[in-house]
Amino acid sequence: MAVPGDPPNGTPDGTGGGDDEFRSDEYRSVVFDEDFVRAARLQEFSAQERMGEHARAVRSRSIWSGGAAPRTSTPGRGARQGMLLVLLIATAFAVAVYMGLRNPYVPPPGGPAQALTSTVVPLAPTTAVPGGLPPELFADSPAAGYRVGAAGITLPAVRRTHHFTDVQVVTALSIAKDYLVQSSLDPDVLAGSATRPVRVLLDPDQLAQFDRSMTSPSGDGRYAATGWLVRFDPATAVMADSRVRVSGTLAFEEVAQDVLEVTTDHTFVYAVRPATGAPAAAEGASLFTVRRELRLRFDRDDLSARRLELASAYVMAGPQDCSADPAGGFRPLLAGAGPTTVGPAASDPYASGHPRRSAGLCGVMAPSATPGAPVSPAP
């Protein structure tokens, strides 16, 4: 008996009669019409449609990697990244330039300090040395208008230099003033009983030269004790009045990128008396004048340590005998002493400006530098 759906003439030979074994009744009743078959045709989605909302597996190429970016990359994203990188580099460069201008390179400290070169010129009197009471002698001398002690060492107006700040300039000037006070006004230094107040202010590279100048002074331009400081031969004269009269100037200049130079030019006037025997009567005092022109140098290490390098010293002092060697200590001609050897030219230690330098090893005190002469205005 034929079943619905079998071929009209029955099942072909050789095909087996076991179709009912793997067919089920439910599939026999399913009929696919033509419209259903056409609607069930296969349709393949594009790559973009298959990705849907998911991230791309391959990123678009950046403008820095060369070549054109894939057409599917986000427009302008690589360009924005490149512009951001360029902006960061430009900003870093601008900051580096600004910091370089605000904080200029600080050069390393200079080399070792140079040795001091000094010239000490005694000034011989042209008349007998006047004597008297110190106040009267001062009042009757060109030092009448000078200030007393450290008050006579005044600092100039301060301004910064190209490589040194105004604070560093003030520091250099204050160290220079300290040196002048200790080396020209300290009573123990003047008496020849102390050197440490001066020594502690010197660059360590100059200490050996300083020590030799104190122990073995010589007038060779390198080892004169009186090139470093003012002191009297204790066997000749002592101070008759502690109120030393002082007047002069300080100036500063940047001489190298790491070197600041201070020039001092001061006149110191001392009242002295004979050192031997009992203290002389007050009327026996006389004046002794020392003109010191110094060049002091400072590097940044010196400023930090409050020390200096004494580069040069030109000193005139009198009244003295030209035959006396002032390298170890000054030997004043005291009240009543007459003129001795006459020097080559007159020099005035009270004159303002640069002192007139003697051509030889001795000079002559100008008449205006002698007590009793007309008083000239203080420099």
CA distance 157 to 160: 10
Angle at 230 between CA 117 and CA 258, to 5 degrees: 45
The model carries a pTM of 0.68
Please give the average pLDDT of every successive group of 10 residues along the chain, which has 379 residues.
54 53 54 62 62 55 49 61 82 71 49 88 92 95 96 96 96 98 98 97 97 95 97 94 97 95 98 76 84 97 97 96 91 88 58 53 73 41
* CA 300 vs CA 8, 54, 161, 252, 357: distances in Å: 122, 67, 14, 15, 32
CA distance 97 to 376: 57
pLDDT in tens, 300-356: 999 999 999 999 999 999 999 988 889 999 999 999 988 766 555 555 666 665 555
